[in-house]
């Protein structure tokens, strides 16, 4: 099972290196890692996705993260209502003859073509990881030349929104 951790850290040189070294030393594999500045100057938010079947491993990771001087807060938001998005950029083979086909194919994903070459187009899309996986699977038969994924950026939903989502799910009024 994938676990999503958000980690609030000081935005200082070497912090990312120390965090990733911690995972390396303990033998924890990072599935995805995104880092960026927050709304507060001097702080960055890391979204780390790790795969662990055992919750004790996740607890161990969180304890190790808390020992880092520049780590201010660590949250495991896996089981909480969250907003999580990922960006992908895909350069796919596309001749002039099948360009319309590729364009039609990416429309339901709200993806867009951001660059056009003689024999390829570059597509960008944002969304949940499963949506990104589906888009990649559909474009793969055309021949993917290059692909770059950011990994997810996530945080929890507003508590009022979360309780409303739970209420709507219980009433089977929300199809997610």
pLDDT digits (tens, 9 = 90+) for 57-105: 899 999 999 999 999 999 999 988 899 999 999 999 999 999 999 999 9
Contact 46/6 with Cβ under 8 angstroms? yes
Question: β-strand 2-10 against 71-76: which pairing, if any?
Answer: antiparallel
Report residue 27: phi and psi, to 5°.
75, 25
Q: How far apart are CA 132 and CA 127, in angstroms?
A: 7
Q: How far apart are CA 152 and CA 86, in angstroms?
A: 4
Length of the chain: 176
Q: How many CB atoms lie within 10 A of CB 86?
A: 23
Q: Which pTM was predicted?
A: 0.80
* Predicted pLDDT at 170: 76
Q: pLDDT, tens digit, for every residue of 25-66?
A: 888 889 999 999 999 999 999 999 999 888 898 999 999 999
Compute the C-alpha angle 38/43/48, nearest 5°: 75
Name the region of 114 (left: φ>0; alpha: ψ -120 to 50; beta: rest).
Answer: alpha
Token pair 């994938």 in the structure block, residue: 2
The number of angstroms, rounded, from the C-alpha of 66 to the middle of its chain's C-alpha atoms is: 22
């Amino acid at each position: 099972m994938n676990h999503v951790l958000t980690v609030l850290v000081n935005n200082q040189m070497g912090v990312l290196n120390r965090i990733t070294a911690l995972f390396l030393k303990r033998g924890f594999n990072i599935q995805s890692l995104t880092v960026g500045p927050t709304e507060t100057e001097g702080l960055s938010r890391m979204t780390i996705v790790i795969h662990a079947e055992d919750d004790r491993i996740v607890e161990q990771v969180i304890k190790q993260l808390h020992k880092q001087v520049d780590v201010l807060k660590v949250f495991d938001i896996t089981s909480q209502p969250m907003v999580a998005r990922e960006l992908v950029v895909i350069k796919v083979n596309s001749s002039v003859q099948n360009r319309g086909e590729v364009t039609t194919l990416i429309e339901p994903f709200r993806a867009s073509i951001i660059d056009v070459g003689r024999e390829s187009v570059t597509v960008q899309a944002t969304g949940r990881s499963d949506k990104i996986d589906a888009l990649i699977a559909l474009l793969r038969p055309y021949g993917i030349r290059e692909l770059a994924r950011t990994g997810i950026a996530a945080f929890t939903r507003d508590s009022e929104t979360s309780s409303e989502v739970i209420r709507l799910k219980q009433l089977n009024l929300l199809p997610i």
